[in-house]
Amino acid sequence: MMKSYNTKTLAKPGGAYSHVYEVPAGHKMIVLAGQVGMLPNGKLAQGFKAQCEQTYKNILGHLKTAGATKKDIFKFTVYLTRATDIPAYRDARKKIIGDDVLPTSTLLVINALADPDMLVEVEAYAAVPDKGK
């Protein structure tokens, strides 16, 4: 079973994440490419909130295909194009992912993504027990 924790002698996380995650032996790693707010029809969701929510729905869908759930996530890397969107991003993540999953997380504010209409991109890393072992 994976274990997350925060070192008690150091500062607490500044948001909904953990500082440390341990992935034990016998797990297979699942690495998701950066996901954006692309709808199933191939069109980009309109507006920041809609893009964020769709991004996390896409992550959950890919994890399901790989045999994983949100509880198997141990790392997010988040790219936003505007720092002013951080509170809305946190709300959207909480709505789709919830408070019971607190993987390690890095959030970066960058100039642009591959398409100028994309406002958020999230990479996810998960691990599940390797049933072949």
What digits encode the pLDDT tens for the residues 89-130?
A: 999 999 999 989 899 999 999 999 999 999 999 999 999 999
| Mean pLDDT confidence for 55-75 | 97
Domain architecture of the chain: domains with CATH: 26-129 (3.30.1330.40)
Side chain identity, residue 74: F
pLDDT of residue 132: 73
In the prediction, which pLDDT does 133 show? Answer: 56
- Per-residue model confidence as pLDDT tens digits over 7-47: 889 898 888 889 988 898 999 999 999 999 999 999 999 99
What pLDDT sits at residue 85?
Answer: 98
C-alpha radius of gyration, the chain, whole number: 15
- pLDDT of 3 higher than 90: no
Distance CA 99, CA 53 (A): 15
* Whole-number Cα distances in Å, 52 to 6, 74, 124: 26, 19, 14
* Residue 63 pLDDT level (bands cut at 50, 70, 90): very high
